[in-house]
Amino acid sequence: MEALIQNFFNAAILAQAWPYLLAGFWMTVKLCLVVIPLGLAGGLAVALVSRAASRPVRWAAVVYVDFFRAFPPLVLLMFIAFGLPFMKIDLGAFGAVALAFLLNTSSYYGEIFRAGIESVPRGQVEAARSTGLSARQTMTFVVIPQAVRNVIPDLIGNTLEVVKLTSLASVVALPELLYAARQAQSLTYNATPIVAAGVIYLVCLWPLVRLLSRYEHRQIAVR
């Protein structure tokens, strides 16, 4: 018990590591603030493209989605972070992470938005068009607002996954929460910083998990 506290919940070590962890935490927040809006916008674009009139364009969207869903995100990240510099494209760690996650998350968000758009009854579009709205106006003011509401649980679920995904950035030495924790651990030879990072993730994400599981139960119960 003594050893457990000494190694995992060491207050002295925690006090020492806290500034690093805090800096890492803010980097994680910053990363989320960049990656989530990018992913949402990219996903919406993918969903709209996958509803295009031309068949080759629709196919391109399907290929995009399947391609990036088949790649483990860490593989994509390493490829971009280590491969692109060889082409004289240096995005830096933050840029590489943002690009890799944009490609990965936009394909997931894209599938969600597509399901949402498909869940809006055809009559809605017809009614909107017959009142004189243009196709674009119909999409913007009639279809998308309803589509988004229908898939809110999935959007929250995927956003939770994206936040957890940001921990991969530690592998390409972006100083976010997990990276800071590992640095602190190797400097102090003590696991407390990693445990603390885990607790920080837990405290931030637990409300989202609760909300989600409430949504999920309601969803299946309705079916």
Partner 1 sequence: MEKLAETFFNVRVMAEYAPKIVEGFFLTVQLALVVVLTGIVAGLALAAVRSFRLTAVNLLIVVFVDVMRALPPLVLIILLYFALPSVGIKLSGFVSTWLALSMVLAAFAEEIFWAGILAVPRGQWEAARSTGLSALQTLAHVVLPQAVRLTIPPLTNRTIAVTKGTALGAVVAVGEILYQAQSGYSFSYNPSPLTLGAIAYLILFIPVVWFGRWVETRFAWKR
Binding site for partner 1 (CB under 8 A): 3-4, 7-8, 66-67, 69-75, 78-79, 82-83, 86-87, 160-161, 164-168, 170-171, 178, 182, 185, 189-191, 194-195, 197-198, 201-202, 205-206, 208-210, 212-213, 216-217, 219-221, 223
DSSP 223: -
Element counts in the chain: helices (H) and strands (E): 11, 0
Nearest Cα residue to 108 out of 160, 144, 56: 160
Residue number with CB closer to partner 1 (23 or 188) = 188
**Least distance to partner 1, CB of residue 40, Å:** 19
Residue number with CB closer to partner 1 (93 or 208) = 208
d(CA 174, CA 170): 5
Q: Report in angstroms the alpha-carbon separations of 94 from 165, 169, 171, 175.
A: 14, 8, 12, 9
**Least distance to partner 1, CB of residue 108, Å:** 9
Residue number with CB closer to partner 1 (86 or 130) = 86
Residue number with CB closer to partner 1 (69 or 149) = 69
d(CA 212, CA 103): 24
Residue number with CB closer to partner 1 (42 or 73) = 73
Residue number with CB closer to partner 1 (133 or 171) = 171
**Least distance to partner 1, CB of residue 133, Å:** 26
CB atoms < 10 A from the CB of 54, how many? 9
**Least distance to partner 1, CB of residue 150, Å:** 11
**Least distance to partner 1, CB of residue 61, Å:** 14
Q: Which residues contact 8 (CB under 8 A, 6 or more apart)?
A: 191, 192, 195
Token pair 């696991």 in the structure block, residue = 191
Residue 82: HSE in the Cβ half-sphere, 13 Å Cα cutoff? 10
d(CA 149, CA 140): 14
d(CA 210, CA 192): 26
**Least distance to partner 1, CB of residue 6, Å:** 9
